[in-house]
Amino acid sequence: MSGGAKLKVRVAEVVTVNEMIKRFRFVRLDGGLMPAFSGGSHTVVEMDDHGTRRLNPYSLMSNPQDQSGYEISVRRDDVGRGGSLFMHNHIVPGMAMEISYPVNLFALDTRAKKHLMIAGGIGITPFLSQIAQVAHLGGQFELHYSARSKVLGAYMDTLTVAHPGKVHCYFDDQKQSVDLARVLSMQPLGTHLYVCGPKGMINWVLTTAANMGWPAHALHHEEFIAPGTGKPFEVKLAASQKTIIVGTNQSLLEAIEAAGVDAPYLCRGGACGQCETSVIACEGTILHRDHWLTPQEHAEDKKIMPCVSRFEGETLTLDR
Amino acid sequence: MSLDIKPDTFDDYFRDETFRDDFTYANSPQGILRFPFPFDRDDYTYSVNMEPHGGGRKGSVFEHAFDVDEHYPAEMIDRAKVLAEDPLRCQSLPHMTLAGWDLLELIMESKARDYPQWFSLSKNGNNWHWINRPLGIDHSFTFLDDTTLPYGPFEYITRQTQGDFSLQDERDNDLWMDAGMITSQADWSLDFDIGMSFMEWHAPVPLAHEKGIFDRALKFLLKLQHGAPVRRFNWTMTVNPLLDTSPETYPKWGPTKTTLTAENLGQKQHLRVELQALFRLPRSNAIAFSIRCYLGKFDELVTVPKWGRRLHRVVRDIDPDVAAYKGFLRNRDAMVQWLSKYDDGAATSPGWWAED
Amino acid sequence: MSKTIFPTAIKSRPVYGVLEPRPGALHLVVADGEGAAAVVDMVAKAEDTARMLAAMHIIYTPGPNGTDLSFELEALGAAQFYRSPTIPTLLPRLARVLDGAHMGTQFYLAGTEGLMGQAERDIMATGVPWRDIQKEHRGSTVRRVQCVHCKGITENVALDPFKCSHCGLNLFVRDHYSRRLAAFQGVNIDAEDPGQVPPSVVRFQ
């Protein structure tokens, strides 16, 4: 079964955190305990948006040791494909939903002497479960968290109170930002760095660290790429002998699934490699939007990541 | 609080037998019929061959997550002896303690559910109470607090579970063998291999690397999810029902390969089947790899006519490199000769089940 | 002399590269024997040699074959240069430097597998990812070999098979390598036929 084991849950609570962010709490439909999970995990939430089936990944922000329920925070995106809008506008307490077992593509390196965390905006969410894990099981961490304003800085107050001295907050509207070079120069050998937030911020942090001599394998980041929209295009599925049209607001993976073809996937965000598909014929341009294939593979166009990438041109034939 | 196994453990079901010195190990008639004969056809080639684990045929070794059979207490006594002689057979790198707790929870919950007549687990928050009747254990402890157990959680639970175990830490899109309880392995050293990556640990296996088998296996395992365990088989040959065929003690058991004769082959030559299962662990995100060893002597196996015919054909036709790697090339011809008595050339039904 | 070319072997056999200057607040160099020449070659490639040397600490020991290039290495003019007589006397110095180091330290190892393996082992233990520690092989190919039976490590093994320097068993040398132990594996060669030991060949020099 693609995507793995599923959990049947009930929405226990919906909380408006601020004008952009809502928090959702899920408990097990059968009243049992949720599976424990590792900090940094996400779950893939299945939505039936008026006939369109969406599966969106959201980081688990609750304490991994708390098996009474899971919590996620969703930032409303008014110009996206509609997944976050659906969550904000249509999900209410009492509803039954299906979510995946937790999957972790942003795990702490448990050998690290210290975890240095850099978060921007909604990128704070995976760090909440990671910090709970480190605090509960022992370990050193330091968090630098940037948000547009104090109002939009979800959870800053709770974190600062719970972990005095280890949490540093910066507000864009007060022209504050982390003195990254200074922070990076002061870390003991064996520190690992984790960054999650807007794409530009991730690039800035990783480039600065590399230029200061940080080892590549001590740098970790997570960026969920929304599948994005684009012009519709036609795709031939050679193995299933089907031809499909991928709609404007539909990802290639979603279109394959809508045609009844069971394609492998895991993160649905261009990062994990599990949906990698062979390209049999390509007359046109593949618009690679993933973080999995190498630049060479992007140039060769023999592989595509259907969860986030698209196509423009005459024909695209895939081995599905 | 200790794990000493009480002497009145053996009863009508559990066998009082040895895996060393006088080698009294044997399978009961029921034991023979549920032996996991690994060949589903008349030839053998190496493959990854993973499939979902659990919920298999009733009464078979595939029914439960962790199979408990008539050899349980005897195997645990042998393990305790191996560890007393060489404590380096059980090691857990410091960052793997959480994974050890995950495994303890998985095994205790599975056994209490699948064998309630022998095991029970009750929880009050993190205060747990575990009863293991066959081994005479009745312990209360605090989950996640290793000061409340006589050993670290990994060693504690694997001293009570049949089969070898390794825990793989997932990092950098790779799996690292960072903990192991390895007392019944087929000839690899935990002390040497602990800390290695997936490819490094498997480096000595001949032929398989060229075919990309390990690349595909790694990719498959990285997407292994909690709640969806998988399993595969491995097999080799052992002279005497010796569980501890480690490189460390090779000078002790190596010479026994030369002691086979046509008269004693049926008694001494054992098919050694490893049922390997893989479980994703929730709190640590690590993967538990269980390597459960089943031993059947040739005399026992040929009591199932299909197995007698098939074993002869597999051993006769196997690639000599594979036979050499599995350590029985030296005795292959003798085995083929002995087994030929049980092969009348008749067709064999597909699949490995004795009853099919 | 340039970097050693090793025959293709099993996947657990280490593979070495060529040292390149990389950014860092501290450049920590550990080398033995002919590895000194690899360090000189690397420094010559730096964009700003003076700046790199001002942040460089070199720890050096002569190779197992006696090669001692301390003079050439010291002449580079690194901020700190230290010559240990042997590897066991080099490691405590390395440990102390690691103890005070910060992230942003670049590591460069050059010379024999024995020296590089032990330095890598100790650097890894601080939490630095081993893949980001640069290593270039030059000079002798003699091996550190751990006897899988008694766990003793025999240094500078040139012959295969050889006698374990701890327990005396005859061992053959495998290409299977452990980074954690910084040693190759040795296994009893005459276990099945005690006394039948093939003649030793000089396999490493």
Contacts of B187 (CB under 8 A, 6+ apart): B245, B246, B247, B250, B327
Q: Euclidean distance between the first and final Cα of chain C, in Å? A: 15
Shortest CA distance from C128: residue in chain A: A190
Least confident of A284-293, B24-33, C19-28: A284-293
- Residues B102, A235: Cα–Cα separation, whole Å: 44
Question: Is residue A101 over pLDDT 80?
Answer: yes
- Residues B28, B50: Cα–Cα separation, whole Å: 29
User: Which residues in chain B touch residue A104, judged by CB atoms under 8 angstroms apart?
Assistant: 170, 285
**Residue positions counted in chain A:** 320
Cα of C10 to nearest chain B Cα, Å: 6
Q: With CA atoms as reference, report the closest residue to B350 among B37, B34, B51.
A: B37
The pLDDT value recorded for residue C126 is: 95
Residues A217-230 have a mean pLDDT of: 85
Q: With CA atoms as reference, report the closest residue to A279 among A304, A257, A259.
A: A304
Half-sphere exposure in the Cβ direction for B348 (13 Å, CA): 25
Question: Is residue A266 over pLDDT 90?
Answer: no
DSSP state letter for B59:
T
| Amino acid identity at C181 | L
Contact B226 A107 (CB under 8 A): no
Question: Is residue A4 over pLDDT 70?
Answer: no
Residues A230-235 have a mean pLDDT of: 91
- Say if residues B234 and B202 touch (Cβ distance below 8 Å): no
Q: Where are the alpha helices (DSSP H) in C125-194?
A: none
Find which of C121, C132, C147, C148 to mutate to test the B interface (most B CBs within 10 Å of its CB).
C148
More confident position, A145 or A228? A145
Cα of C99 to nearest chain B Cα, Å: 19
| Closest residue to C102, CB basis, from A111, A185, A215 | A185
Asked if B330 reaches chain C (Cβ–Cβ under 8 Å), the answer is: yes
User: Which residues in chain C touch residue B250, judged by CB atoms under 8 angstroms apart?
Assistant: 148-149, 187-188, 191
Contact A215 C23 (CB under 8 A): no
pLDDT digit of tens for each residue in chain B (356 aa)? Answer: 667 766 556 678 999 999 998 999 999 999 999 999 999 888 887 766 788 998 888 999 999 999 999 999 999 999 999 999 999 999 999 999 999 999 999 999 999 999 999 999 999 999 999 999 999 999 999 999 999 999 999 999 999 999 999 999 999 889 999 999 999 876 789 999 999 999 999 888 766 566 677 888 898 899 899 988 999 888 989 888 988 888 999 898 888 777 888 899 999 999 999 999 999 999 999 999 999 999 999 999 999 999 999 999 999 999 888 888 788 898 999 999 999 999 999 998 888 888 87
Question: Is residue A160 over pLDDT 80?
Answer: yes
Question: Is residue A199 over pLDDT 60?
Answer: yes
Where do we find the tokens 């290039």?
C69
Contact A213 C106 (CB under 8 A): yes
Q: With CA atoms as reference, report the closest residue to A309 among A245, A237, A242, A229.
A: A229
Asked if C169 reaches chain B (Cβ–Cβ under 8 Å), the answer is: yes
What are the structure tokens assigned to C178, written together?
């452990």
User: Using only C-alpha atoms, what is the Rg of chain A?
Assistant: 20
Burial state string for A47-80 with b = 16 or more CB within 10 A and e = fewer than 16:
beeeebebbbbbbbbbbbbebebbbbbbbeeeeb
| Amino acid identity at B278 | L
The pLDDT value recorded for residue B209 is: 60
Burial state string for C153-189 with b = 16 or more CB within 10 A and e = fewer than 16:
bbeebbebbbbbeeeebbbbbbbbbbbbbbbbbbbbb
Half-sphere exposure in the Cβ direction for B312 (13 Å, CA): 20
- Residues A7, B49: Cα–Cα separation, whole Å: 28
- Residues C65, A268: Cα–Cα separation, whole Å: 56
Q: What does the DSSP assignment read for A71-87?
A: EEEEE--TTSSSHHHHH
User: Which residues in chain B touch residue A41, judged by CB atoms under 8 angstroms apart?
Assistant: 285
Shortest CA distance from C10: residue in chain B: B203
Mean of the per-residue pLDDT values for chain A?
91
Residues A213-236 have a mean pLDDT of: 89
The pLDDT value recorded for residue A1 is: 41
Asked if B329 reaches chain C (Cβ–Cβ under 8 Å), the answer is: no
For CA atoms B176, B182, B186, B190, give the dihedral sign: positive
Contact A137 B228 (CB under 8 A): no
Residue pLDDT, tens place only, A48-95: 888 778 888 899 999 998 999 999 999 998 877 788 889 999 999 999
Where do we find the tokens 């998988």?
B230
What are the structure tokens assigned to A96, written together?
């039954």
By a Cβ cutoff of 8 Å, what residues of chain C touch chain A? 22-25, 98, 101-106, 126-129, 131-132
Does residue B42 sit in helix, strand or coil?
A: coil
- Residues A180, A210: Cα–Cα separation, whole Å: 12
Catalytic residue among B20, B232, B316, B332: B232
Mean of the per-residue pLDDT values for chain C?
95
- Residues B86, B79: Cα–Cα separation, whole Å: 10
Asked if B95 reaches chain C (Cβ–Cβ under 8 Å), the answer is: no
User: Which residues in chain B touch residue C151, judged by CB atoms under 8 angstroms apart?
Assistant: 88, 191
Whole-model pTM: value is 0.92
Question: Is residue A141 over pLDDT 70?
Answer: yes
The gap from C-alpha C12 to its chain's centroid, in whole angstroms, comes to: 16
Kindly give the interhelix angle for C113-124 and C87-100, rounded to the nearest 10 degrees.
30
Residues 204-243 of B with CB under 8 A from A: 219, 223, 225-228
Asked if B92 reaches chain A (Cβ–Cβ under 8 Å), the answer is: no
Question: Is residue A2 over pLDDT 70?
Answer: no
Burial state string for C16-49 with b = 16 or more CB within 10 A and e = fewer than 16:
beebebbebebbbbbbbbbbbbbbbbbbeebeee
Question: Is residue A145 over pLDDT 90?
Answer: yes
Q: Any idea of the CA torsion for A236, A237, A239, A240, to the nearest 10 degrees?
A: -110
Asked if C146 reaches chain B (Cβ–Cβ under 8 Å), the answer is: yes
Kindly give the interhelix angle for B332-339 and B305-317, rounded to the nearest 10 degrees.
150
Does B89 participate in catalysis according to the annotation? no
Contacts of A40 (CB under 8 A, 6+ apart): A59, A104, A105, A106, A107, A108, A126, A129, A130, A194, A222
DSSP state letter for A189:
T
The pLDDT value recorded for residue A49 is: 81
- Residues B173, B175: Cα–Cα separation, whole Å: 7
Residue pLDDT, tens place only, C124-182: 999 999 999 999 999 999 999 999 999 999 999 999 999 999 999 999 999 999 999 99
- Residues B252, B256: Cα–Cα separation, whole Å: 8
- Residues A288, A305: Cα–Cα separation, whole Å: 8
Shortest CA distance from B93: residue in chain A: A111
Query: B256: alpha, beta or left, given left = phi > 0 and alpha = psi -120 to 50?
Result: alpha
Cα of B308 to nearest chain A Cα, Å: 37
The pLDDT value recorded for residue A98 is: 95
Asked if B220 reaches chain C (Cβ–Cβ under 8 Å), the answer is: no
The gap from C-alpha C172 to its chain's centroid, in whole angstroms, comes to: 21
Contact C191 B254 (CB under 8 A): yes
Cα of B114 to nearest chain A Cα, Å: 19
Q: Please give the ipTM for the structure prediction.
A: 0.92
Asked if A188 reaches chain C (Cβ–Cβ under 8 Å), the answer is: yes
Asked if A110 reaches chain C (Cβ–Cβ under 8 Å), the answer is: no
Query: What is the percentage of chain A residues whose pLDDT exceeds 90?
Result: 68
Least confident of B210-224, C9-23, C44-58: B210-224
User: Which residues in chain A touch residue B94, judged by CB atoms under 8 angstroms apart?
Assistant: 111
Asked if B88 reaches chain C (Cβ–Cβ under 8 Å), the answer is: yes
Cα of A176 to nearest chain B Cα, Å: 33
Residue pLDDT, tens place only, C177-197: 999 999 999 999 998 888 899
Strands C105-111 and C26-32, by their bridges, are parallel
Bridge partners for A98 per DSSP:
A8
